[in-house]
């Protein structure tokens, strides 16, 4: 049950943004599994007058591959509705004329096919997992330390995530490592960056107070959205932990058991 | 030439502590090479009435193996004169009844032979170099996150060091990574820890103001010694960079071209 005050904005709401892993599905072997009720909840939102977008920090696959997986799980989702860090990074790189050295998962590399990577003048790191070897991290470090003005982009800043075989270190950990090594501050692309959330709002043509973010990551989903001026609702699925409800700095505008419950409450309020 | 005020304490000085890599020798292929004049400088100090100790953050070999290398290079050094983080860590582990999970260089493991490592209740990381794989870092992370009160010891906190084939990431980078992943603060054993410098002073039976530290690492050697109440002198060998002389927070009590010059100035002042 939603035991915290539910955001009073539901009647004036014009758009909803959904986190994906931990809200729609749990990752794991193969494609992972859909969280009960979430496929139907997405259908209900699409049938409503609300705009809907999906916002993920997934950086182990291209957006096309990732969306195909969600479709196989039964979700009605298309690539143009999904916002992920890599395409946002490509836009930033082109805008600023930067040529990246990539330290990312093999499956993400095609996202950067259209970017000049010769003679790199910045580093982009994603959730590279096993590619975070000592040699590869050292190589990224040497590129940065050799630049007059080192620029490091981090695709998200997560600490860790959960897979079927246990917890795994996420990109934020290696971002902190390189920040310390080179005495610099990384630019985070993806959640919780305000620029990233704003690009989703721009795509919907909405103001922050007209939109609601639903996610399982209290800091990056809920806190990030709130910092941007949106409401943020937490679900008790995915990486949720009871201690999230006593977090020292972030308090969700509502906490619900799962996406299905959130959607029912939103749609009920609007009728 | 020493272009900064030389510490005025040389007459009242009773002991000198020397950093090793970058002061006595440069590391690289095989045993590395002695820095010109340093073998003779150590001889002069030993022939003087000053006490002499060596203080290193070296954690890729046991103290015995490391000292044997220095002896092969021509230095008159014995194991009992050398202070390094691993033996200090073993003492702390025993005192506090802690059983470590080790993430260190293979060559350092024998230092921990006498320590119970079953069912670990803390993690010790050293300069593990290639052993800092994603899998190994993830394993250390899982040990920490599984503990009710996670304790992380870091053998030093260096950012990087120089070898003949280029710069290499040091243990501090991985310390920051695990600190962020587990939301904790590591306990640093080795330079610049005050406890570590104090153990060297205790061994000499000296007060901080009676001792002088000479090193090439401005923060960990010079700053650490100063924080402990000693004088700290920087050499322009090893990892020295001209920007060290404009460092925002640490100012050496003296900066000299090399160890030989420092020793001549100290001994000249005492006659």
Tens of pLDDT, residue by residue over B7-55, are 556 788 999 999 999 999 998 888 899 999 999 999 999 999 999 999 9
Q: Which residues of B lie inside 8 Å of A (Cβ-Cβ)?
A: 128-135, 137-138, 141-142, 145, 159-160, 166-169, 172-174, 176-181, 183
Q: Which residues of B touch A172 (CB under 8 A)?
A: 180-181
Measured CA to CA, the distance from residue B221 to residue B254 in angstroms comes to: 13
Q: What is the pLDDT along chain A (271 residues), one digit of tens a residue?
A: 444 556 556 788 999 999 999 999 998 888 899 999 999 999 999 999 999 999 999 999 999 999 999 999 999 999 999 999 999 999 999 999 999 999 999 999 999 999 999 999 999 999 999 999 999 999 999 999 999 999 999 999 999 987 777 899 999 999 999 999 999 999 999 999 999 999 999 999 999 999 999 999 999 999 999 999 999 999 999 989 899 999 999 999 999 999 999 999 999 988 7
Cβ–Cβ gap B160/A181 under 8 Å: yes
Give the mutation candidate from B136, B138, B152 for the A interface (greatest A CB count, under 10 A): B138
CA distance to partner chain B, nearest, from residue A21 (Å):
19
> pLDDT tens digits, residue range B77-117?
999 999 999 999 999 999 999 999 999 999 999 999 999 99
Q: Which residues of A touch B163 (CB under 8 A)?
A: none
Measured CA to CA, the distance from residue B215 to residue B225 in angstroms comes to: 10
The pLDDT score that the predictor gives to residue A8 is: 58
CA distance to partner chain A, nearest, from residue B47 (Å):
40
Q: What stretches of chain B show up as alpha helix (H) in DSSP?
A: 38-47, 63-73, 85-95, 134-145, 171-182, 194-204, 224-227, 259-269
Beta pairing partners, B246: none
The pLDDT score that the predictor gives to residue A2 is: 47
The model's pTM is 0.90
Identify whether the C-beta of residue B140 lies closer than 8 Å to the C-beta of residue B101. yes
Which residue, chain included where needed, has tokens 């009676």? B210
Q: Which residues of B touch A179 (CB under 8 A)?
A: 176
Q: Which residues of A lie inside 8 Å of B (Cβ-Cβ)?
A: 128-135, 137-138, 141-142, 145, 159-160, 166-169, 172-174, 176-181, 183
Q: What stretches of chain A show up as alpha helix (H) in DSSP?
A: 38-47, 63-73, 85-96, 134-145, 171-182, 194-204, 224-227, 259-269
**Minimal Cβ distance to B181: which of A130, A160, A166:** A160
Residue A52, helix vs strand vs coil: strand
Measured CA to CA, the distance from residue B236 to residue B215 in angstroms comes to: 9
CA distance to partner chain A, nearest, from residue B271 (Å):
44
Q: Which residues of A touch B169 (CB under 8 A)?
A: 134, 137-138, 141, 177, 181
User: Which 8-state DSSP code applies to residue A81?
Assistant: G
Which residue, chain included where needed, has tokens 């001889």? B43
Q: Which residues of A touch B130 (CB under 8 A)?
A: 134-135
């Amino acid at each position: 049950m939603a035991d915290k005050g539910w955001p009073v904005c539901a009647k004036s709401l014009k758009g909803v943004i959904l986190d994906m892993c931990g809200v729609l599905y749990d990752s794991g072997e193969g494609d992972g599994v859909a969280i009960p009720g979430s496929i139907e909840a997405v259908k209900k939102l699409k049938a409503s007058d609300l705009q809907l977008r999906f916002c993920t920090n997934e950086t182990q696959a291209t957006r096309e591959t990732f969306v195909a997986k969600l479709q196989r799980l039964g979700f009605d989702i298309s690539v143009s509705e999904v916002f992920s860090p890599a395409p946002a990074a490509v836009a930033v790189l082109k805008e600023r004329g930067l040529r990246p050295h990539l330290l990312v998962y093999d499956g993400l590399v095609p996202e950067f096919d259209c970017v000049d990577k010769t003679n790199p003048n910045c580093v982009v790191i994603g959730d590279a997992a096993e590619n975070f070897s000592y040699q590869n991290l050292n190589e990224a470090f040497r590129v940065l330390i050799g630049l007059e003005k080192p620029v490091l982009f981090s695709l998200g800043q997560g600490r860790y995530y959960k897979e079927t075989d246990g917890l795994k270190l996420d990109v934020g950990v290696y971002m902190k490592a390189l920040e310390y090594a080179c005495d610099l501050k990384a630019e985070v692309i993806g959640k919780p960056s305000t620029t990233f959330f704003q690009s989703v709002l721009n795509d919907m043509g909405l103001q922050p107070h007209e939109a609601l973010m639903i996610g399982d990551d209290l800091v990056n989903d809920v806190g990030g959205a709130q910092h941007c001026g949106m409401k943020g609702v937490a679900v008790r699925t995915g990486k949720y932990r009871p201690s999230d409800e006593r977090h020292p700095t972030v308090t969700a505008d509502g906490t619900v058991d799962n996406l299905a419950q959130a959607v029912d409450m939103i749609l009920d309020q609007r009728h």
